[in-house]
Chains A and B, each alone.
Chain A
Amino acid sequence: MTTSSIHVVPLRVYLLVFASLLVLTATTVAVAFVDLGTLNNVVAMAIAAVKAMLVVLFFMHVRYSTRLTGLVIGSGLFALAIMIGLTLIDYATRGWLGVSGK
């Protein structure tokens, strides 16, 4: 009774993803030595996000699994974004009023 839900990923895909992950690691290190000012962070995080996306979609089979898995991951990232975003709102807007402690 072979279950239809499992999807065997072809070897070629795995090797392709593996290679691109290594290349992306090399690029992120290389880019770090170039002075892009504030862009450095954005680029570093973007590359990390792409790498993470590759791992999630192919190595973790999310590309071949149900929409529910995507929803679960999305809810996790949403909660993380809320935690980081709303905490930073407090610290970024401190001192705007020019009154200490407000």
Chain B
Amino acid sequence: MSADLAHHFDSYEQQAKSASLGVWVFLVTEIMFFGGLFTAYILYRSKYPEAFIAGSHQLDIALGTFNTAVLICSSLTMAMAVRSAQLGKRTAIVGFLMATILLGSTFLGIKATEYHHKWVEHLIPGESFHLDEAHLPTHHGKPVLSDLPTGIVGESRADAPLSTAPRSDLQAHTQLYFFLYFGMTGLHALHMIIGVGLLVWLLSPSSKGKFDADNHNYVEGVGLYWHFVDIVWIFLFPLLYLVGRHG
């Protein structure tokens, strides 16, 4: 990880600008990568609003909110780490990197407890899936209607998709919700793990003072990646946790 200027670049500035543009182009591919799941989520939520409300109510909103706050703090500490690298303050970089790693691990820990809760409650999509329909959000005695105008659910007018669900359509469509829940938060958690790995990898060069005003591309790159993963969670949180909470 040569801190000096690579042979094919003419100046530090060209190297820094190239690195930054490279990371941003990579983040655009990540936008499209998560975009596929977001498209599926938006589509199935408009098709099966009741199931998504029922599914969302199985999530612990307090844990979700706390996790969001943890991730926002980690964004701050990451930004401070990049700032310290720009100023070449060795101990500050290491300190803020450690803080970010700690916050990231906290987030993953909380995520693990939520997954365990889903496992215990038989909410993993598949044969073992069973949604306890007893205390579903009911509104004056009938299932809460979605907050989406049914007009969007174009298909239900002429011939509803004949979801031949194992037990009832609610059980089936809620499985869809949880498949997307585990898909999106799982992929996000995987990116968090990679992020924490990158942060740990930065610790040793930071402590050796390799980063200064001229060459802090690696810290800035990991920083951009970390903020991107935070932004994904900023959108995941309302979409997954805050669905039809006003029951």
What is A's interface to B at a CB cutoff of 8 Å?
1-6, 8-9, 11, 14-15, 18, 21-22, 25-26, 28-29, 32-38, 40-41, 44-45, 47-48, 51-52, 55-56, 58-60, 65-66, 68-69, 72-73, 75-77, 79-80, 83-84, 87-88, 91-101
Contact = CB atoms under 8 A, between A and B. Distances in A.
8 contacts: A1-B12, A2-B213, A32-B238, A32-B246, A33-B246, A52-B234, A84-B42, A96-B154
A2 B223 CA distance: 21
B147 A8 contact: no
B127 interface: no
A29 B65 contact: yes
Mostly, the A contact residues are: helix
Contact of B31 (A8, A76, A100): A76
B141 interface: no
B17 A6 contact: no
Nearest to A41: B147
Contact of A52 (B43, B65, B231): B231
A84 B234 contact: no
Given A18-B73, A58-B79, A84-B39, 6 more contacts: A8-B87, A25-B68, A41-B147, A47-B238, A52-B231, A76-B31
Contacts of B13: 3-5
B198 interface: no
A38 B73 CA distance: 31
Given A55-B234, A92-B154, A98-B158, A66 B17 contact: yes
A5 to B, nearest CB: 5
A3 B214 contact: yes
B158 A6 contact: no
B157 interface: yes
Given A40-B147, A48-B234, A76 B16 contact: no
Given A5-B17, A14-B80, A51-B234, A91 B154 contact: yes
The secondary structure that dominates the B interface is helix
B227 A55 contact: yes
B230 interface: yes
A100 B159 contact: yes
A32 B245 contact: yes
Contact of B242 (A28, A56, A69, A97): A28
A59 to B, nearest CB: 4
Contacts of A37: 147
B23 to A, nearest CB: 10
A5 B83 contact: no
A76 B28 contact: yes
Nearest to A96: B154
Nearest to A28: B238
B96 to A, nearest CB: 11
B32 interface: yes
Nearest to A45: B238
Nearest to B151: A92
Interface string B1-27: 000000000011100110011001101
A41 B235 CA distance: 12
A53 to B, nearest CB: 9
B35 interface: yes
B158 A99 contact: yes
